Amino acid sequence: MSSAAAALQCVTARVPAKVNLELMVGPPRPDGFHHLATVFQAVGLHDDVRVEPAEDWGITINGPYADLVPADETNLAMRAARLLARKAGIDLPVHITIDKDIPVAAGMAGGSADAAGALLACDALWGEWSPKADLEDLAAELGSDVPFALMGGTAMGSGRGDQLAPVLGRGRYTWVFALGDVGLSTPTVYAECDRLRSGRRVPQPTPSAAMMTALRSGDAVALGRALSNDLQPAALSLQPRLEEVLRTGMDNGALGGIVSGSGPTIAFLVSDTERSLDLAVALTASGAAPSVKRAVGPVRGAHIVTAVSGPRGSFGSAGPDTGHTGPAGLRSS
Ligand code: C5P
């Protein structure tokens, strides 16, 4: 551990939610997962994950979703911190505090975001500053979406969604998310997908040319048409009222609408901020969606926003667009 980093008393990482612009699901694998070809986009809804040295391991969740998240050893952020400690041979307990703004059990990878944030923040707190590839390996051990929460931007995911390649696309897209009032469990949605497709030959998934062309050109209308999700029929089968949410969005100016990941959030792509406000109002006024959030994408992946050193002063805070996850991204204050 380096002496400079050993002085850190508190580190906060900010991590985005994701939407899958395309989610092709192949046949089940022997390990219970499914082969995927997916395109992730990180969107501007964030959780902040703060870590501080403590007498004992602990976790606190703040915000409107706090009651829906386990504040114990099973929390994915806690498992991430413990995994990194074990791999690095570190025995320094931390208290993790999560300010949660990403909806829970919503298909937006909020739990994965918290795990990515805990990895990055603990890595800095303990002065490890591990190579990115090492953190990505640990991220993949924790969950299929955790590597993308570290990477951010727009990326192709293969394997079980954990093998990533950045997509160099143009454009900034405006999203409206219609949140469900009851969450969906990811394994249940995959199981329903298998049930609905049983007896049919399921091909190996491959990314579509239409999606790549839309992203390359930055054409929001083409992107709206290219949105697709093989888990959508399963999510609709489990929560049939999502059909009405989709219809309401499409009738009120959305360029495209899709179940986000395993749902039940419905993600609508719109042309600009004004349309996003109109659509948000239409969705809530119609009663189709109990709550709505708006965000733009792509945004950067997990990054450190504050790192505070000991009694002799603060280490400063990273600017939002430094592009760094490590110490070079921190300014002296
Ligand atoms: O990797 P993660 O823990 O997020 O996966 C949660 C569940 O989603 C898995 O246990 C599995 O049931 C399902 N899943 C899958 N195939 C994938 C990713 C997730 O079947 N590629």
Q: Exposed (0-12), middle (13-18) or buried (19+): which is 271, by Cβ within 10 Å?
A: middle
The percent of residues above 70 in pLDDT, for the chain, comes to 91
Angle (nearest 5°) at CA 7 between 5 and 12 = 70
State residue 326's pLDDT score: 42
* Among protein residues, the one whose CA lies closest to atom 13 of ligand 1: 187
> Per-residue pLDDT tens for 177-233?
999 989 999 999 999 999 999 999 999 999 999 999 999 999 999 999 999 999 999
Q: Among this protein's residues, is 293 annotated catalytic?
A: no
Q: Residues near 25 by Cβ (< 8 Å), separated by ≥ 6? A: 34, 35, 36, 190, 193, 202, 205, 230, 231
Q: Residues near 115 by Cβ (< 8 Å), separated by ≥ 6? A: 76, 77, 79, 80, 139, 142, 143, 146, 149
Report which secondary-structure segment, H or E, holds 84.
Answer: helix 76-88
> Per-residue pLDDT tens for 250-292?
999 999 999 999 999 999 999 999 999 999 999 999 999 989 9
The pick from 22, 34, 76, 192 for probing ligand 1's pocket by mutation, whose C-beta has the most ligand atoms within 8 angstroms, reads 34
Burial string for 224-260 (b: 16+ CB within 10 Å, else e) reads bebbbbbbbebbbebbeebeebbebbeebbbbbbbbb
State residue 312's pLDDT score: 52
Closest CA to 302 of 147, 179, 127, 163: 147
Beta strands 8-28 and 34-53, pairing class = antiparallel
Res. 319 pLDDT band, cuts 50 70 90: very low
Tell whether the model's pLDDT for residue 325 goes beyond 50.
Answer: no
Report which secondary-structure segment, H or E, holds 80.
Answer: helix 76-88
> Per-residue pLDDT tens for 117-175?
999 999 999 999 999 999 999 999 999 999 999 999 999 999 999 999 999 888 999 99
State residue 311's pLDDT score: 64
Tell me what the mean pLDDT of segment 30-35 comes to.
95
pTM of the predicted structure, to 2 decimals: 0.92
Torsion of CA 162, 118, 56, 6, to 10 degrees: 120
State residue 310's pLDDT score: 77
Chain centre distance of CA 200? 31
State residue 290's pLDDT score: 87
Q: Which residue has the higher pLDDT, 314 or 45?
A: 45
Q: What is the rounded CA–CA span in Å between residue 13 and residue 70?
A: 20
Q: How far is the CA of 25 from the centre of ligand 1 (A)?
A: 11
Q: Among this protein's residues, is 18 annotated catalytic?
A: yes
